Amino acid sequence: DPQTTAFLLRKQWTLYSVTPLYRFSNARLRDYARLLSACIAAEKQKGLAGGGGGDLAIHLPDLKGSDQDQAAILVQLSSRSPASQKNSEEKLIWSGWFCCVFGDDLSENVPEDFTCLPLFLANGAETYTSIVGSWFQKTFDCCFRRLAISPLNLSWMAAMWTGCKVDKTVSAIELVFSVPCLPHPLDISYAIHPEDAKALWDTIQKTPGEITQEEVDVFMDCLYSHFHRHFKIHLSATKLVKVSTAIASAHCDGIIKFLQSQYLTGVLMLLTELAISQIQ
């Protein structure tokens, strides 16, 4: 649905993996909102969260992959300006949502009382993420962990997203490498024209719609050797920390930005998979 997608696109989301929630009920959303609001208000009293009045809402937007997936949960924190006018605009200050997109691997093996929503995305101040996270952990006996994205997974994303067809090829395929352990740290940004990168990938991928590890390795090796030819530096010895394409951009610390509505589900599916393997 267009409003939801507009809300998701072009924002920076911090990623977490979440273990299944115990005894979460879709029917009790209003109670949960009330309790969580009280929790946040208490933290504000202690001076741990920002000032101003706040409204907390919990919705169930339509964000799933298959019908087996659980309905997503969206938590939104808005604040009204302190000048308590009735029509003052509410500003959205923090959003967090739990989702599961094609996560059958996890939900199949889990007992009745559990709700499987392994992927959590947060946008807004870290203090709120931590308050909301702690409340969910206490209330539903689950565990949040920052989702780390390994260089291996980042190279998959690079290869996959390079192959995607995009209407207007505006964004380059950018790979960012970091070499922190030198006396003076070094960052290398390697950006390839999207048409040229896609042309390379198309000669490597054998079956459309399918990608193998070997194909990803060949793709990355080609890029590394082109770089080595010019600079005599082995990029394979450095750490791949970020991948940016027209589809999305992903950072190894578990940060994602969705850029194309067309491929939103695909990226969420990949992230769900990563979250599930981090939990298991």
Partner 1 sequence: MDETVTEYIRRTVLKIPREEIKAMLQKWGFLSEAQLETINFHQMKDNISQDVVKLCEENSADIKQAAVLDIIYNHIYPNKRVWSVYQMNKTGEETDFFDLRDFKKKFKRRLRSALQNVTVNFREYEDNAIWIRVAWGTPYTRPNQYKTSYVVYHSQTPYVFISVSVLKSNLPLLCEALLVASNYHDIREMELRSHSLNSLKDIVFKRYNQNFQTYRPRPLQERNVVPESADLRITQENRSEKERIQRVNREIFGDGPQPKLEFAQYKLETMFKSDPKMHVLDKKEPFRCLVKFHSPHLLESLKSLAAAGMADTPLSPLLTCIPEKARNYFKIREKKGFFPGSFVSP
Q: Contact residues for partner 1 (CB under 8 A)? A: 172, 179, 181-193, 196, 199-200, 203-204, 218, 222, 225-227, 229-234, 237-238
Q: 160 or 172, CB closer to partner 1?
A: 172
**What span, in angstroms and rounded, lies between the C-alpha atoms of 104 and 106?**
5
Query: Count of CB atoms within 10 A of residue 159's CB?
Result: 25
Using the Cα atoms of residue 160, residue 264, residue 126 and residue 96 in order, give the sign of their dihedral: negative
Helix (H, G, I), strand (E, B) or coil at 26: helix
- For the CB of residue 132, give the shortest distance to partner 1 in the complex, in Å: 35
Give the distance, in angstroms, between the CA of residue 111 and the centroid of all CA atoms in the same chain. 26
The 10 Å Cβ neighbour count of residue 198 is 17
Q: For partner 1, which is the closer residue by CB, 92 or 222?
A: 222
Report, in Å, the least distance between residue 181 CB and partner 1.
Answer: 7
Q: Rounded to the nearest whole angstrom, what is the least distance from the CB of residue 253 to partner 1 in the complex? A: 18
Nearer to partner 1, 27 or 181 (CB): 181
Contact 118, 276 (CB under 8 A): yes
Report the C-alpha gap between 99 and 143 in whole angstroms: 15
Smallest gap from Cβ 218 to partner 1, in A, equals 7
CB of 217 to partner 1, least distance (A): 11
**Residue number, 41 or 199, with CB nearest to partner 1:** 199
| Residue where the block lists tokens 């390839």 | 192
Cβ proximity to partner 1, 164 vs 179, nearer residue:
179
- Report the interhelical angle of 264-279 vs 151-163 (nearest 10°): 160
Nearer to partner 1, 142 or 252 (CB): 252
Nearest distance, CB of residue 256 and partner 1, angstroms: 22
Closest CA to 149 of 20, 277, 30: 277
